[in-house]
Amino acid sequence: MLRKFVLVLWFFCLPWPGYALDVSFGNGAFFDPPQFLEMLRGNSSRDAVERALAGVVLIGGRASGVLISPDGLMITARHTVEDLSFTNADCARIPLFLGHEIAEDGSRDTGLRRLVCDHILVNEYADDFILMKVRVPEGIQLPFAPPERDVVGIEAGMRAYAVGYPHALNYSRGVKKVSLGPVVLYRPYDDELPHFLHLIDTEGGSSGGAILSEQGKLVGLHFRGVRDYGPGVKVLVDGKQTLIHRFNVALPVPYLLKKYLPN
């Protein structure tokens, strides 16, 4: 447990330029959801991806989160709402917005809803994890990203989508975006902190946002970026073992749910 605590401190408090909330790799662009879905036209998983995209939530002025059930279960990285996670009264002040995005016709916020956190179910520093319950608006079925529960649903070499609010700190700019790239290392049984590394473009507001599989399953929560990890890490890039120094870190959803929401 002490080793895990030290590792988490390392991720949070890197004293050199390796620490970052955002890391970009030049993989392309941040796409608005309609633009991204158009790229998936003809793909058998397009509808599943569209439904999952709709479940990603803006934490206003802060970061991103993800609804994982129609009855209002939501998860995010703890550090994004740490100061508002100690009591239910604090929880209700977390600024949650559903539908803050560009629509297919170019309009904005056509389905915007303010969500209210009812209570915190899990508040875990060591895994940087928050599970909360939001109130379901009357007459509304909340969208959600179905979580991957099988540990083998993630593997190095798979392509994935990062979905969130990269510019969440600026409400007018902070609309939902999608970026894509590879998962390059997966350590689901790491004794200190189960994680995977990905090379998908992120910005500061991406923290707590969704990492989706190509099938539309929620496989991870974006955690941190590392811009310059001195010794480097050997990972799988384009089928080859490669030493990299720049990467993003995600928390694997199968591990989190097995530990905190087993049923």
**CATH number of residue 57's parent domain:** 2.40.10.10
Q: What tens digit of pLDDT does each residue of 188-204 get?
A: 999 889 999 999 999 98
Same domain membership, residue 250 and residue 156? yes
Rounded Cα distance between 241 and 250, Å, is: 20
Report the pLDDT value the prediction gives residue 15, as an integer from 0 to 100: 38
Closest CA to 115 of 73, 87, 81, 77: 73
Rounded Cα distance between 174 and 166, Å, is: 7
Single-letter residue type at 38: E
Same domain membership, residue 152 and residue 209? yes
Number of other CB atoms surrounding residue 192 within 10 Å: 16
Same domain membership, residue 212 and residue 129? no
Same domain membership, residue 182 and residue 80? no
123 found inside a domain? yes
139 found inside a domain? no
- Number of structural domains, the chain? 2
Contact criterion met (CB below 8 Å) for 222 and 181: no
Our measurement of the distance from residue 145's CA atom to the centroid of its chain's CA atoms, rounded to an integer in Å, reads 11
Rounded Cα distance between 197 and 185, Å, is: 5
Tokens 């799988």 correspond to: 236
Please give the structure tokens belonging to residue 262: 């087993």
Q: Is the confidence at residue 3, as pLDDT, over 60? A: no
Q: What tens digit of pLDDT does each residue of 102-155 get?
A: 877 778 766 788 999 999 999 999 999 999 999 998 888 899 999 999 999 999
Q: What tens digit of pLDDT does each residue of 54-84 get?
A: 999 999 999 999 999 999 999 999 999 999 9
Angle at 39 between CA 35 and CA 43, to 5 degrees: 135
pTM, two decimals, is 0.90
